[in-house]
Amino acid sequence: MNPEKVSARRAQNLIRAVNPAPASTVADYWRDPVGKAAFEQIVRTPIAAPESRPDVTPPPRRPHRKLAIGAAAVAAFALIGGGVLVNSLRQSQPRRPTVTAPMLHYTLSGYTEPAGSLRLPPARSELLRLAKAAAARLPLRQPRGATVGLVVTNEWYMSTAVGGGTSTTVVIPEVDRTWYSPDGAWRLLRHRGRPIIGTVGSEQTLRAAVSGPPISNQRFPAHDTSGGPDVSALADSPAQLRAELLSAPPYGNDGQAADFRLFRVISLLHHQIVGPALDAAMWRVLASQSAVRSLGTVTDRAGRSGDAVEVTDPQAVERLVLIISPDTGQLLGSEDILLKNPGALNMKTFPAVTGYVAFLSDRWTRTS
């Protein structure tokens, strides 16, 4: 028998007793770093291919692509290696396309479809121009006694639950309000919209994929680092800021490519109020990264004009995009795009958006 099929069968036998895991067990397993790391290895490592760099998802408060998967399944992955389990899942999946967000229309001279191109021009000059725009921006007005920052975002995430040899994929739209206090404590109020259901593997995986309250209200103490560092403590000097961003939790020293870490932490930090000088320094940091490329101009999901820059992983699978206002140098949004199938999704059209964040408004307030 084919060795790959033998490995897959051994894995299935190993997890048979707990697969599919009940929704109550798996609903939050994607929050576990071990589970997230295993999933990323599964979907990114081809059979018999050399081990690729691990990709790390955003922290639990900003899920990149959720995964609900039983602990035994993660243990099985460690035994059989990447790719085999995913391929066995794919073979049993219904042939319905995975639902994704509409692709934004990027305009770049000389390119018919910049979002899917692997040969894009450097973004250095564009980012330096955006840094100048940010530096010239007036700080956000702060009324007397208003020391708490409030940022409102529209966010959209793909959620995948795996169990019983099948998987269910849904997308979860949400509107978030994030408050940051001067002492570093923060609050996240999340309003989830109705899940948009794509491929359904089973009732259990469907329940796991859509689990979670429609409204959640979480508070985090000052020492919690899942939201990243306090932006008021970051340097305005690009050289010092780069080091701070690359070492900042939750992405610091995780083995991920520096460009990806910078994009992720910069997007995460904008759930706080970021001042003009810090924005300018961030764009100068990205201008020094040779792998950061231009995607041209775009109208974002809130109808605003923006300049888009991107970074793509070495395997040309995932692309991260930042959309920045050419007038103010403010971050308008971030997009997560797949350029090709990572191995576990029933998707036929690429590039495809698997998640986005649109920064809608920010202001100072007195309470959270």
Torsion sign across C-alpha atoms 178, 257, 236, 286: negative
Residue in the block written with tokens 């340097």: 235
DSSP string, 304-362: -EEEEEEEE-TTS-EEEEEEE-TTT--EEEEEEEESS--SSS---SSSEEEEEEEEEEE
Cα-Cα end-to-end distance for the chain:
61
Burial label for 361, CB within 10 Å (0-12, 13-18, 19+), is: exposed
Q: Mind listing the pLDDT tens digit of every residue in the chain (368 residues)?
A: 554 444 444 444 444 444 444 444 444 444 455 555 554 554 444 433 333 322 323 333 443 333 333 322 322 222 222 222 233 333 344 445 567 788 999 999 999 999 999 999 999 999 999 999 999 999 999 999 999 999 999 999 888 787 777 778 888 999 999 999 999 999 999 999 988 887 788 888 888 888 888 999 999 999 898 889 999 999 999 999 999 999 998 888 777 899 999 999 999 999 999 999 999 999 999 999 999 999 999 999 999 999 999 999 999 999 999 999 999 999 999 999 999 987 766 677 899 998 999 999 999 999 98
Helix (H) or strand (E) holding 67: strand 65-68
Backbone dihedral angles phi then psi of residue 267, each to the nearest 5 degrees: -65, -45
Count CB atoms within 10 A of the CB of residue 113. Answer: 11
Amino acid at 361: S
Q: Which two tokens stand for residue 329?
A: 């140098």
DSSP string, 100-134: -BPPP-EEBTTBS-GGG-S---B-HHHHHHHHHHH
